[in-house]
Structure 1
Amino acid sequence: MSSKISTLMGWHHDKRVDDGIMRHPADSIAWKTFDELYQSFASEPRNVRLGLASDGFQPFGNSKTPCSIWLVVLIPYNLPPWLCMKKENFILSMIIPGPESPGDAIDVYLQPLIEELKELWESGVKTFDASTKQNFVLHASLLWTINDFPAYANLFGWSTKGKIACPCCNKETHSIRLQNCKKRCYMSHRRFLPLNHKWRNDKTSFDGTKEKRLPPKQLSGDDILDQVADLDGLQLTRDPKKKIKISHESRSDNWNEKSIFFDLPYWKTLLLRHNLDVMHIEKNICDNILGTILNIKEKTKDTINSRLDLQAMNIRKELHPIKIGDKYDLPTACYTLSPEEKHRFFSFLKNLKVPDGFSSNISQCVNLKDRKISGLKSHDCHVLLQHLLPLALRGMLCKSVCESLIELSLFFNVLGSKCLSVDELEQIDAQIPITECKLEKVFPPTFFDVMELANSFS
């Protein structure tokens, strides 16, 4: 280990300012809890703290040849924030070849990495520090993974599909299968409100029921191990001849396997084992909002089937479709822009001027003549959701719609800040259930996919 790297690896311990503001993973509660549990590991600042990110990509661009190659990347968090996220400091631990994604069988490919991580935790490796001219035993630990929601299922072992798709809510996930849209929606956000909140008794504005349930219990590592005890040793494979069928219905849960990460001695004690990538979540939410308020064909959540589902649930009678002969007429919803408002919205984006480096040229994605927007990248959706939508929609939609969308924008704005205070995180974590309830009062049930708490985002 060079003298320069040795100094940088101890930055989180020697030079980090601990003023209650979160600028680095070392400022997080998860990191500090780990230090309290494993004080011998924490006593050596040069011991490596790692994060693991994994996702697939199409190597041939937009080629019609289907192929998915997965990367497994390790991020050393000892380095200061201006270095730890530089690509030259990432460790490409493995490449999982295609043409198919590994899916639930990813644990097979991760076995060598897990064995090395166990060795680095238990035995360590003898290392020479050029700054002190001495040898020391270097250990390493994996603090968490970072992934999108589908990869979450592969790495955690819990299927993110079906009626109990949320890994955090586990068996207490509540969902409704919509008769006409033929899909599941995940609402019941009132469960996360205080017990004395007036909306818990409001049947008319929500799904026609009163909400008396408590929020789902957050499971510990031991709780999870108890649930997957009968799956210990089960190894999933992509080979159809050796594929093992697991009945989620008979098990009354969504477990596919016991995650290989539990082979790490410390994994069950971690406060936060899996993080969700905000980039993917922001794009999905932004697409849902734009598709619905602009009534974009095949992207809007406000369809004839969603209106028929409202009718079947006997809620929001003002939006029920009106049958005229063999066709249905859909009453105008408060969350849909009129043609004139669409023109104002697209004109705002078309004429938008931003500082260099703030975003890509979003105006190129706007077709003012046809009133269409296309080709938005993930970062474009990030900028739209956090900064531009509240400005573009002001004075157009009614107060209830604007208020909920602005609060959602502020939530992601705070969450994506470079500097965070624990107080701010606690505030948005308490506020987001209220915001979700406001959205639930306005948008159709099809709008709601699985939602996560603020402390699951990375």
Structure 2
Amino acid sequence: MDTCKICNTSKWKSKAKVGAVGVSGDGNNRKKVPAKVLRYFPLKPQLQRLFLSSKSVEDMRWHANDSKNDGMLRHPRDSEAWKHFDLTHTWFASDPRNVRLALASDGFNPFGNDIDVYLQPLVKELKELWTTGVDTYDSFKKEMFTLHATLMRTISDFPGLGSLSGWNTYTGLACPSCDIDSTPRHLPHSKKWCFMGHRRFLDQRHRFRLNKVRFDGQQDMRGPPKMLSGLQILEQVQNIDVTFGRKPDKERSGKRIRGGRPTQGVNQQWKKKNIFFELPYWKDNLLRHNLDMMHIEKNVCDNIIFTLLNDSTKSKDHLNARKDLKAMGIRPDLWPNENGRISPAVFTLTTKGKKRFLTTLKNINVPDGYTSNISRCIDMENLKLNGMLKSHDCHILMEQLLPLAIRATLPDDVSAIMIDFCSLFRQLCSKVLNVDDLKKLQNQVVLTLCHMEMIFPPSFFTVMVHLVVHLVEEVKLGGPVHYRWMYPVERYLGILKSYVRNKARPEGSIAEGYLVQEILTFCSRYIENIETRWNQLGRVDDEPINEIQTDSRVAELFPRVGKSVGGSSYYTLTPIEKLQAHRHVLTNCIIVDYYLRQYRSIIRSQMRSGARSTSEVDKKVHREFPHWFRNRVSVHDKIGD
């Protein structure tokens, strides 16, 4: 096709645009320049290379050979979604070499719903991998077999989840797990959607359900929302008709409409029937679109820190938030007065508390590579956090540093709730989880969120805070979160961006760089005795040298461990510190024990021969054993330094 079937636009750039980029020559002989280029690397050859390499073929069946049925979640194979898929498609699970995939998308925006157009080649290949498969050579068993593959889930940030699934994530029904079984609440003064109502996840007889004053002014006797199956969602989107791309000129009236729109009402929550339902097994998957822990933790951390510090631009506690409390008729002690002034809340840090809070964060020292330099973001003069904290910094703050910083700066009842909230993320991010403990963890999550509803204003509860209540259920379905979050995807995007050499053609540069890297990676698995990406040392090499120290040289007292990182620093010891270090080495160093034993034996022998003092013994030792005495003196000098 030379033109778009929707708007009749040519697939080639016009002559004027082509001439503008420097293409010359006769119009008839000029090479046509496409308006858009989709660079797609087929999936089948990549999967075949994994089995063709003897270095990676054994890892492709590790999940089946090393399985443990002890009730612990260590790998996605232990999750309910994996086991349910095995029971539903037994022929696929019979061969452990069949591959299960996850699709990650981030870092680009192909106009929302139109991403399905770009996914068509991938979906076509996934259909072929499911039905017919591809002939593959197994270098471990030395045989040919038919390789099949399936797409288990997608991994993306929350807006990306909306683009892939078709669910509208910008309304009061933004939560895809609750679906339409929720009551949206719009805050009139803050002009945003509020996602409270976590009491519905409590036990039916819990006392919080009847409390009106400390929550949203109403009783909540609803039951928890039921997670819909793939078949139920397929019924919801079955009749949605979407036209991708730009609409014809007559319909769009001179305005460009980005993305498709359903024809049966603008207010529908589903924007499209996503393309993955064309896969015959997609409706059977228990977890289709994964909630990303990385972005949820990042946004929750920002909400907490900027609200505690009462940041003028990013705090969730402001004048409009207090007006919303008055409109809801709850917490009259926090209502603004006649002059529009608001009193500090119980969670607002005082000036003294801010100084203590920020000083604690600024003075914390962590190992190399543990976090970035968080102290660079702390402004002690204005008592603010400046700059953008990275996602991994927020991860460390929430799980490690924030409980330490708020322990002595907030009232006990508030700090206890916040510490419990931070511990929830730490437990959810564990590499090994006990299935029996997940129910207790879910109850703890719900109860902590209910306590937070009694403390923070409704504007604090954005959709990202609400999504925390569904994380435990997703752990049951999908397994540990470190297999399903965006950290490796974000890091790999940084690698892809480093391939760009021609900024006028970034996509082409990334494609060529990726192809070269793939070739070098495959070849480097068979190259020995040279440094490759598989055997090179890390940035910090702290592995000790395991060598048997037989020589009594002084250098062996201080063996080289690792390599230096950064510049060196000098520190002068006081006489007491020098003496303590001297005695510590003499007491604990094995090599020094050899010298001490030899020295004692020489002293005893010299005293028997008639020596009258220690100095006289030293003179005789120096005279009879000059080499050893010289080493002993240098050892003492080294210890003193």
- TM superposition score normalised by structure 2: 0.62
**Structure 1 residues 238 and 434, CA, compared in 2 at 3 Å: closer, same or farther?**
farther
Among 414, 423, 430, the residue aligned to 1:417: 430
Q: Measure, in 1, the Cα distance between the counterparts of 2:358 and 2:259.
A: 50
Matched with 1:73 is: none
| Higher mean C-alpha deviation, range 20-29 or range 107-116 | 20-29
**Structure 1 residues 45 and 441, CA, compared in 2 at 3 Å: closer, same or farther?**
same
Give the aligned residue type for 1:39. T
The answer to whether the 8 Å contact 1:105/1:238 transfers is: no
CA RMSD of aligned residues (A): 1.8
* 2:412 pairs with 1:395: no
Among 213, 229, 233, the residue aligned to 2:222: 213
Give the aligned residue type for 1:276. L
Give the aligned residue type for 1:19. D
Q: Measure, in 2, the Cα distance between the counterparts of 1:218 and 1:28.
A: 17
* 2:381 pairs with 1:366: no
> Could you say what secondary structure the match of 1:405 adopts?
helix
Matched with 1:236 is: 244
Give the aligned residue type for 1:24. H
> Could you say what secondary structure the match of 1:50 adopts?
strand
Q: Measure, in 2, the Cα distance between the counterparts of 1:271 and 1:20.
A: 20
Cα deviation digits, residues 144-194 of structure 1 (max 9, x gap)? 111111111011111011121111111112221111111111111111111
Matched with 2:460 is: 447
> Could you say what secondary structure the match of 1:152 adopts?
helix
* 2:173 pairs with 1:168: no
**Structure 1 residues 400 and 242, CA, compared in 2 at 3 Å: closer, same or farther?**
closer
The answer to whether the 8 Å contact 1:235/1:257 transfers is: no
Q: Measure, in 2, the Cα distance between the counterparts of 1:366 and 1:292.
A: 16
Cα deviation digits, residues 205-261 of structure 1 (max 9, x gap)? 1011110111112101111011111026x343356368654378x576400000111
Q: Measure, in 2, the Cα distance between the counterparts of 1:308 and 1:178.
A: 9
> Could you say what secondary structure the match of 1:328 adopts?
coil
The offset of 1:394, in angstroms, is 0.6
**Structure 1 residues 242 and 166, CA, compared in 2 at 3 Å: closer, same or farther?**
closer
Matched with 1:427 is: 440
Matched with 1:332 is: 344
Cα deviation digits, residues 125-156 of structure 1 (max 9, x gap)? 01111222211100000111111111110111
Matched with 2:262 is: 246
Matched with 1:59 is: none
Q: Measure, in 1, the Cα distance between the counterparts of 2:157 and 2:218.
A: 33
Cα deviation digits, residues 18-71 of structure 1 (max 9, x gap)? 332222211212111111111110111111111111011xxxxxxxxxxxxx3x
Matched with 1:94 is: none
The answer to whether the 8 Å contact 1:177/1:184 transfers is: yes
The answer to whether the 8 Å contact 1:22/1:421 transfers is: yes
Give the aligned residue type for 2:298. K
Give the aligned residue type for 1:246. P
The offset of 1:112, in angstroms, is 0.6
> Could you say what secondary structure the match of 1:159 adopts?
coil
Give the aligned residue type for 1:432. V
Among 184, 192, 213, the residue aligned to 1:204: 213
The offset of 1:16, in angstroms, is 3.3
Cα deviation digits, residues 258-279 of structure 1 (max 9, x gap)? 0111111111111111112211
Matched with 1:227 is: 236
Q: Identity of aligned pairs, percent?
A: 48
Q: Measure, in 1, the Cα distance between the counterparts of 2:285 and 2:428.
A: 22
- TM superposition score normalised by structure 1: 0.86
**Structure 1 residues 238 and 414, CA, compared in 2 at 3 Å: closer, same or farther?**
farther
* 2:316 pairs with 1:301: yes
Q: Measure, in 2, the Cα distance between the counterparts of 1:127 and 1:275.
A: 30
**Structure 1 residues 242 and 368, CA, compared in 2 at 3 Å: closer, same or farther?**
closer
Q: Measure, in 2, the Cα distance between the counterparts of 1:198 and 1:236.
A: 50
> Could you say what secondary structure the match of 1:348 adopts?
helix
Among 129, 135, 145, the residue aligned to 1:136: 145
Give the aligned residue type for 2:402. L
* 2:107 pairs with 1:30: no
- Count of residues paired in the alignment: 411
Matched with 1:407 is: 420
Q: Measure, in 1, the Cα distance between the counterparts of 2:228 and 2:428.
A: 23
Give the aligned residue type for 2:221. K
The answer to whether the 8 Å contact 2:399/2:422 transfers is: yes
The answer to whether the 8 Å contact 1:350/1:368 transfers is: no
* 2:34 pairs with 1:19: no
Q: Measure, in 2, the Cα distance between the counterparts of 1:357 and 1:17.
A: 32
**Structure 1 residues 192 and 241, CA, compared in 2 at 3 Å: closer, same or farther?**
closer
The offset of 1:429, in angstroms, is 1.9
Matched with 1:93 is: none
Q: Measure, in 2, the Cα distance between the counterparts of 1:341 and 1:359.
A: 24
1:89-100 to 2 correspondences below 5 Å: none
Q: Measure, in 2, the Cα distance between the counterparts of 1:131 and 1:114.
A: 30
Q: Measure, in 2, the Cα distance between the counterparts of 1:191 and 1:237.
A: 41
Matched with 2:287 is: 272
The answer to whether the 8 Å contact 2:73/2:79 transfers is: yes
* 2:398 pairs with 1:385: yes
**Structure 1 residues 37 and 208, CA, compared in 2 at 3 Å: closer, same or farther?**
same
The offset of 1:422, in angstroms, is 1.5
> Could you say what secondary structure the match of 2:100 adopts?
strand
* 2:98 pairs with 1:47: yes
Q: Measure, in 2, the Cα distance between the counterparts of 1:405 and 1:238.
A: 48
**Structure 1 residues 399 and 151, CA, compared in 2 at 3 Å: closer, same or farther?**
same
The answer to whether the 8 Å contact 1:236/1:257 transfers is: no
> Could you say what secondary structure the match of 1:217 adopts?
coil
Matched with 1:127 is: 136
**Structure 1 residues 132 and 29, CA, compared in 2 at 3 Å: closer, same or farther?**
same
Q: Measure, in 2, the Cα distance between the counterparts of 1:449 and 1:137.
A: 48
Q: Measure, in 2, the Cα distance between the counterparts of 1:282 and 1:257.
A: 29
> Could you say what secondary structure the match of 1:5 adopts?
coil
Structure richer in strand, relative to its length: 1
Q: Measure, in 2, the Cα distance between the counterparts of 1:309 and 1:196.
A: 29
Q: Measure, in 1, the Cα distance between the counterparts of 2:83 and 2:362.
A: 47
* 2:61 pairs with 1:10: yes
